[in-house]
Amino acid sequence: MTKLTGMLMLTSAIALAGGAWAQEGEPIKIGVLHSLSGTMAISETTLKDTVLMMVEQQNARGGVLGRPLEAVVVDPASDWPLFAEKARELLTVSNVDVIFGCWTSVSRKSVLPVIEELNGLMFYPVQYEGEESSKNVIYTGAAPNQQAIPAVEYMMEELGVEKWALLGTDYVYPRTTNNILESYLQDQGVAPGDIFVNYTPFGHSDWSKIVSDVVALGADGKKVGVVSTINGDANIGFYKELAAAGVSADDLPVIAFSVGEEELSGLDTANLVGHLAAWNYFQSADSPENEAFIAAWQDFIGSDQRVTNDPMEATMLGFNLWVQAVEAAGTTEVDPVLEAIVGLEVPNLTGGTATVLPNHHLTKPVLIGEIREDGQFDIVSQTDPVPGDAWTDFLPESAVLEADWPGKSCGMWNSQTETCVQVQSNY
């Protein structure tokens, strides 16, 4: 046991002893809406456990408003319509005060009408395509300007990439993100013919033709880079095919938005070393806050081999912001909590702070990491915190839109017509 872990355990024990008598009244119920079975369980189960850890820690500090927290866990089973049913169950049967949940954008889109109808509150912890701002959601993951755009800028400026392969899994997040990136690249002077876009289904395994096409882009001597929104197990086959084609990270760098420590854990990373990922947090970040978080997580989960990752940090940020907003509002009621939360800030794990913006997104630093043989990342670039942009400047329909919940009570304010658009766009 490390000295730090021992100190954390002692502090927790003391807090538990003091917190037991401080908690009175009915528990405050916390909804946990993450897949514990199906294709997304490998990623989402970790976020369920993160919420449970945060609940345990908060109860050790005396709960919230002097009341204990109680997690209500449901399993939407990687079934997108079931997410909506389970969200309704959490809000109407279990009567939770807040929900922490969803991973894919299609699951979030499924839940959105339910929580808006019932005036629930959800914290969404995963990077996504933007083009959304709901009164009832706090988006603690990255918007495109906090991940995708800076990643492309890095490859362009630092690696000299001139031609682009945008490879994604065929669903809303990759398609919308790549629409934004295509527009951004062309705005930077990249010719449409120097941008190759391809989508594959979940679990795609035959990458030979696609990799061949990508390699062929560089036949004219221009530097080619891959921007990957490939999700899940398909990444393994993709990187293996690159290696089989004799392509190194120096020859053809790949920057991924959905490959992190959890995905690399236990894999043979020989084919991935030197390739890149863009996130707002890596386990290798050097800060006292991160050291304490890792120690607490591994103690809670009972294994010093378990890694941390970006959506875990986003979950932690959302949980701590909700606690702070509830205490500021003096109630768990959604509307007062939402009134209190804009402008609040909490420490992040990279040595800075995260602030809630009027558009219900956060400020987040952008980190570029290079994959190491041990499955961790060498951080090669880190920005100051970037304000999340709900509506991108690189799609004409979105460039005129703003989100301002405390000022205009609107997630789609058209700055040209000075009206609130009622129906959100689907790109």
232/339: higher pLDDT: 339
In 173-290, DSSP assigns E strands to 195-200, 224-229, 254-256, 276-279
pLDDT value of position 20: 39
Mean pLDDT confidence for 231-247: 88
Residue 351 has pLDDT above 80, yes or no: yes
How do strand 377-382 and strand 410-414 relate by DSSP bridges?
unpaired
Residue 340 has pLDDT above 90, yes or no: yes
Element (H, E) at 7: helix 3-22
pLDDT digits (tens, 9 = 90+) for 373-404: 999 999 999 999 999 999 999 999 999 999 99
Indicate the residue type of 138: I
pLDDT digits (tens, 9 = 90+) for 124-157: 999 999 999 999 999 999 999 999 999 999 999 9
| Domains of the chain and CATH, by start | 3-143+285-365 (3.40.50.2300), 148-256 (3.40.50.2300)
Give the C-alpha separation, 22 to 39, whole Å. 41
Strand partners, 50: none
pLDDT digits (tens, 9 = 90+) for 264-315: 887 788 888 999 999 999 999 999 999 999 999 999 999 999 999 999 999 9
Q: Return the structure tokens found at 57.
A: 């820690």
* Residue 227 CB partners (closer than 8 Å, separation 6+): 148, 151, 152, 155, 164, 165, 166, 167, 178, 181, 254, 255, 257
pLDDT digits (tens, 9 = 90+) for 86-128: 999 999 999 999 999 999 999 999 999 999 999 999 999 999 9
- Would you give the DSSP letter of residue 400? T
pLDDT value of position 427: 33
- Say if residues 315 and 50 touch (Cβ distance below 8 Å): yes
pLDDT value of position 11: 42
Strand partners, 165: 196, 226
Q: Return the structure tokens found at 411.
A: 């997630």
Residue 278 CA to its chain's centroid (Å): 11
How do strand 254-256 and strand 276-279 relate by DSSP bridges?
parallel
pLDDT value of position 423: 56
Give the C-alpha separation, 327 to 329, whole Å. 5
pLDDT digits (tens, 9 = 90+) for 39-56: 888 889 999 999 999 999
Signed CA dihedral, 165, 169, 175, 177: sign only: negative
Q: Return the structure tokens found at 313.
A: 């940090």
- Say if residues 164 and 225 touch (Cβ distance below 8 Å): yes
Strand partners, 64: 67
In this prediction, residue 24 has a pLDDT band, given cuts at 50, 70 and 90, of: low
Residue 215 has pLDDT above 70, yes or no: yes
Mean pLDDT confidence for 330-344: 98
Residue 29 has pLDDT above 80, yes or no: yes
- Would you give the DSSP letter of residue 27? P
Mean pLDDT confidence for 205-234: 94
In this prediction, residue 234 has a pLDDT band, given cuts at 50, 70 and 90, of: confident
pLDDT value of position 304: 94
pLDDT value of position 264: 86
Residue 69 has pLDDT above 70, yes or no: yes
Signed CA dihedral, 55, 59, 60, 65: sign only: positive
Q: Return the structure tokens found at 305.
A: 């081999």
- Taking phi over 0 as left and psi of -120 to 50 as alpha, with beta for the rest, 131 belongs to left
pLDDT value of position 233: 79
Report the 10 Å Cβ neighbour count for 10. Answer: 10
- Say if residues 424 and 411 touch (Cβ distance below 8 Å): yes
